[in-house]
Amino acid sequence: MPQSLLPNILQFIGQIDPFDKIPKQALRELASNVQITYLGKGDVVDLCESGKEKSLYIIRTGSMEQRKSDGVLRARLGSEDLFGFTFLDSEVNDEKGYRAIAIENTLLYVIPHSALQALFKAFPSCAEHFASQAQVRLKSALDVVWSNKEKGLFIRKVEEVASGQVAIVKSEQTIQSVAVEMLHQRSPCAVIYEGETIVGLITDRDMTKRVIAHGVSTDNLISEVMTHSPLTVKPDDLVLHAASIMMQFNIRNLPVVKENKVVGLLTTSHLVQNHRVQAIFLIEKIKYAGSVKTMSSFTSERQAIFEALVEGKVAPETVGKVMTMIMDAYTRRLIQIAIDKLGPPPCDFSWIVAGSHARNEVHMLSDQD
């Protein structure tokens, strides 16, 4: 690496936890081992590949998404986020790795694990920060005070993050006219109305997969290829809530709607530009838990998230909403496990909750009415 690049690398990694807590000389030695890698959109870092030297990856610019070996979304990451640290634990099985895919052009700082080992010996707290167990990492995070930037995503509302640029069209319009409107609005999708009612959504990806790939005429109506009854969020919803929906249903665009009027658009790019949210990862783990015993093992992570929110001086009503989202995830998964065990329900049903759960006021000692 050219020495002329060292000051920029030092400045950047020196502001990232836990490297911001080590002496300057140790930081300089670490920075001298940094390798720079450029990825184009769609390029892949395969952490499942056996025999390959393991490294810690720091995103300098750009954004990436992690996918498990079965293709399931693991996380979305942006500038200052790190990945590849779970393999610092020698007990981690390579077969349980994942792939990291560049969502856009991305610049990575790459630090070989061998260069990190000396740092861990001198500063054991760094090793704890990169522990493979999520609950250890979360507990380590509680030792520092969150900055406004780090806790911002918890307390911000969707309307503060969403873009106002969104194409709004009618169901009787042609595919071509909708594409033109999306181009004019510089929007990755269009919300489709029938009268005063939202009836559909079409994205630029849909245009490729459903129209171009199948040779569909652009003179056809947009209603023939749109996604019906799209999911939406409200302006005062937490960004955390919106991100959870995106991960649960694997969608990239969420219209922001107030009184049936589209007032904005939230996309995955809005989220990866903000700090990662550990609560989303826990909700994702709960969703795929195979048993009640497995879900019980997440208690320490749930506790750590609650403590981190309180430690970060997040507003009480927001803490309640975040913990309620986690409770919702537990409830949905328990219902599904029961159905898997007992068989399909004899009729359609709704699950009703009361008390603190219904009021979005769940805390660590809440019971279930």
Domains and CATH numbers, the chain: 3-132 (2.60.120.10), 158-271 (3.10.580.10), 278-358 (no CATH)
Kindly indicate the confidence band of residue 1, based on its pLDDT and cuts at 50, 70 and 90: low
Find, among 106, 99, 100, 103, the residue nearest to 38 by Cα: 106
Query: Looking at the predicted structure, is the pLDDT value of residue 369 above 80?
Result: no
Concatenate the DSSP letters of all residues of 106-164 into one string: EEEEEEEHHHHHHHHHH-HHHHHHT-SSHHHHHHHHTTSPPPHHHHHHHH-BHHHHSBS
CB 277 within 8 A of CB 305: no
In this structure, what DSSP letter does residue 221 have?
Answer: B
Which residue bears the tokens 């610049």?
Answer: 107
CA distances from 210 to 174, 203, 223 (A): 14, 10, 12
Kindly indicate the confidence band of residue 3, based on its pLDDT and cuts at 50, 70 and 90: low
Which residue type is seen at 13? Answer: I
Average pLDDT over residues 335-347: 94
Q: What pLDDT does residue 345 have?
A: 94
Q: Among residues of the chain, what percentage have pLDDT more than 70?
A: 80
Beta bridge partners of 190: 167, 202
pTM, two decimal places: 0.48
Q: Give the Cα separation of 149 and 177 in Å (integer).
A: 40
Rg (CA), the chain: 23
Q: What pLDDT does residue 302 have?
A: 83
CB 176 within 8 A of CB 259: no
Find, among 161, 158, 160, 230, the residue nearest to 193 by Cα: 230
Q: What pLDDT does residue 285 have?
A: 82
Pairing of strands 167-170, 189-194: parallel
Kindly indicate the confidence band of residue 304, based on its pLDDT and cuts at 50, 70 and 90: confident
Q: Among 86-100, 117-131, 239-253, 355-369, which stretch is predicted with the lowest mean pLDDT?
A: 86-100
Which residue type is seen at 95? Answer: E
Between these two residues, 135 and 361, which has the higher pLDDT value? 361
Q: What pLDDT does residue 155 have?
A: 61
- The residues, any chain, with a CB within 8 Å of residue 89's CB and separated by 6 or more, are 131, 132
CB 171 within 8 A of CB 222: yes
Q: What pLDDT does residue 146 have?
A: 45
Which residue type is seen at 122? Answer: A
Q: Among residues of the chain, what percentage have pLDDT more than 90?
A: 35
CA distances from 37 to 10, 49, 61, 62, 260 (A): 16, 18, 11, 12, 46
pLDDT tens sequence across 31-43: 999 999 999 989 9
Which residue type is seen at 183? Answer: L
Q: What pLDDT does residue 115 have?
A: 85
Query: Looking at the predicted structure, is the pLDDT value of residue 76 above 80?
Result: no
- The residues, any chain, with a CB within 8 Å of residue 351's CB and separated by 6 or more, are 331, 335
Q: What pLDDT does residue 140 have?
A: 44
Q: What pLDDT does residue 312 have?
A: 62
Average pLDDT over residues 307-328: 78
The helix or strand, by DSSP H or E, that contains position 205, with its residue range, turns out to be: helix 204-206
Average pLDDT over residues 60-79: 79
pLDDT tens sequence across 156-171: 789 988 888 899 999 9
Which residue bears the tokens 């049903």?
Answer: 349
Listed ranges 38-52, 142-156, 349-363; the one with the highest mean pLDDT = 349-363
Kindly indicate the confidence band of residue 86, based on its pLDDT and cuts at 50, 70 and 90: low
Burial of 112: CB neighbours in 10 Å, binned 0-12, 13-18, 19+ = middle
Q: What pLDDT does residue 273 have?
A: 45
Between these two residues, 358 and 68, which has the higher pLDDT value? 358
CA distances from 312 to 150, 207, 241, 250, 324 (A): 9, 43, 19, 29, 18
